[in-house]
Structures are given as C-alpha cells and as structure tokens.
Amino acid sequence: MILMWSPKSPFVRKVMILAHELGIAEALALQREVAVPRGVPNPAILAVNPLGKIPALIRDEGPALIGSAQILDYLCEITPGGRALLPASGEARVMQLRWQALADQLTEVLLDWRIAATGPLGIDAARRASFEAKTRAGMALFEAEAPLLRAAPFGPGPIALTCALGQLDFRYPDCGWRAAFPALTRFAAETAGRPSVAATAIVNDQGDSGPDLQLTFE
Ligand SMILES: N[C@@H](CCC(=O)N[C@@H](CS)C(=O)NCC(=O)O)C(=O)O
C-alpha cells in the first residue's frame, strides 16, 4: 500500500500513529507529497484524490481511499486486533467516531485559520473571531471529556485529539493551552509516551513559517 504522505500533515499523522499502534507502519510505502491549499493543487495528489488532499491510501487492489477517517477504519478492518481500537459496532465505536469528528474539525479550524491569515489580504476580524471561538469551544469540550478519552482504547478518537493538540504545538506554539487545560495536559503527557506518537512527531521539512496567529489561552 502507498500512502500519500507529508511529515507536516496532522491528518497524515493520524494514519501513521494508527499504523504504528497496529504494527503495520512498515507495510505503508510513504510517498512524499506537498498539499497545496492555495493556488493550483498538486497534480500528483489530484490524480488520486480529485479534491487534492492528503492522506490518500493507494491499495494494492481496488480504488484509493480518501480521508483519514476512512483510512483508519480500513486499517482497523484489515489488521488482526484492529477492531480493539475501533469496534465494528456499538457505543464504543460511536464514541471513537464522535471524538474523531470533533478533533478533526478542530484541526480543520486550525489549518483554515492559518491559511486564511497567510493570504495576501490577511484575515478579516469576523472570520478570525469565528476561528477563535470554535477553537476555544472545542478545547473546552475536550477538557471536559479528557478523563473519558484517557480511559478509552487509543483508537481514532484519542489519536485525532493527539493530532489536533500537536497542530496547536506546531503552528500556535505560544498559545499556552497547557496552562489553561489541565486534564488535556495529562492526556497529552500520557500519549506523548507512546512510541507511535513519538515516532510521528510533526517535522517542518520545508521550514516554512507563517503569521503570528495571536491565539492565547488564559
Ligand atoms: N478531512 C480530511 C482533511 C485532509 C486535509 O485537509 N489535508 C490537508 C493536509 S493536512 C490537505 O491536503 N490540504 C490541501 C488542500 O486543502 O487543498 C482528512 O481527514 O484526511
């Protein structure tokens, strides 16, 4: 299987963390691709995903799979023991998918915020206010549910949250979320000790920077 991959992508990181947890990381051939959210999309990605996004998983047989959530579900389905992390049915599955959807949307807000702020016209105040309000509300929800996440299997929900918090550390390094969210800080300290999380730390291999997004938690 070939994974369209970037060391900077929080959504690709979800796939890689799960692959390490399942012991199948070596089965993924990583194809470095640069996703281009502004301007002409990367044609190599477009050839596999017409929406131009990574991750995309090219299987040995059958159509490519698009989007981290489906790829995680697929890897859990084809790997022995995978359904311990994402059950095929039941409330445990519902909770994993719920947390994954919330954390993915939080990550999308963080990505979209930065993309909007790096445009030639900058970001308007109303859009910025929307991004900030959603980020604060998302973090508050996860702070409340952190004890449940810590008790759950390290499946798509906790993995997606790990990647959202990693995106905060990567692009919003001075936001101070740890001082404001003690339960999330405990969650992150525990997950940081997992080999799968340590092995997939975000790497800014292009050395790009961006504007100071002026997000501060108190
Ligand atoms: N919902 C998708 C989001 C994927 C996504 O936004 N990937 C980013 C890289 S982290 C991307 O490819 N952006 C390029 C673009 O938006 O055109 C998933 O879960 O995989």
Task: Tell me the CA–centroid distance for residue 51 and ligand 1, in Å.
Answer: 9
Reading the chain (218 residues) residue by residue, the pLDDT tens digits are: 999 999 999 999 999 999 999 999 999 999 999 999 999 999 999 999 999 999 999 999 999 999 999 999 999 999 999 999 999 999 999 999 999 999 999 999 999 999 999 988 899 999 999 999 999 999 999 999 999 999 999 999 999 999 999 999 999 999 999 999 999 999 999 999 999 999 999 999 999 988 889 999 98
- Cα(11) to centroid(ligand 1), Å: 7
Domain boundaries, the chain: 2-84, 91-198
Report the candidate in 213, 204, 168 with the shortest Cα–Cα distance to residue 187.
Answer: 168
Taking CA atoms, 120 is separated from 39, 115, 128, in Å, by: 12, 10, 15
Answer yes or no: is the C-beta of 166 below 6 A from any ligand 1 atom: no
**Distance in angstroms (rounded) separating the CA atoms of residues 168 and 7:** 15
Regarding the beta carbon of 56 and ligand 1, being less than 6 Å apart is answered no
Q: What is the pLDDT of residue 218?
A: 80
Helix or strand or coil: residue 206? coil
3-class DSSP state of 211: coil
Q: Which atom of ligand 1 is nearest to the CA of 53?
A: 12
CATH of domain 91-198: 1.20.1050.10
Q: Which residues contact 129 (CB under 8 A, 6 or more apart)?
A: none
CATH no., domain 2-84: 3.40.30.10
CA of 54 to the centre of ligand 1 (A): 5
Give the separation between CA 76 and CA 153, rounded to whole angstroms.
13
Residue nearest to atom 16 of ligand 1 (CA): 37
CA of 10 to the centre of ligand 1 (A): 9
Q: Which amino acid is at 27?
A: A
Phi, psi of 176 (to 5 degrees): 70, 35
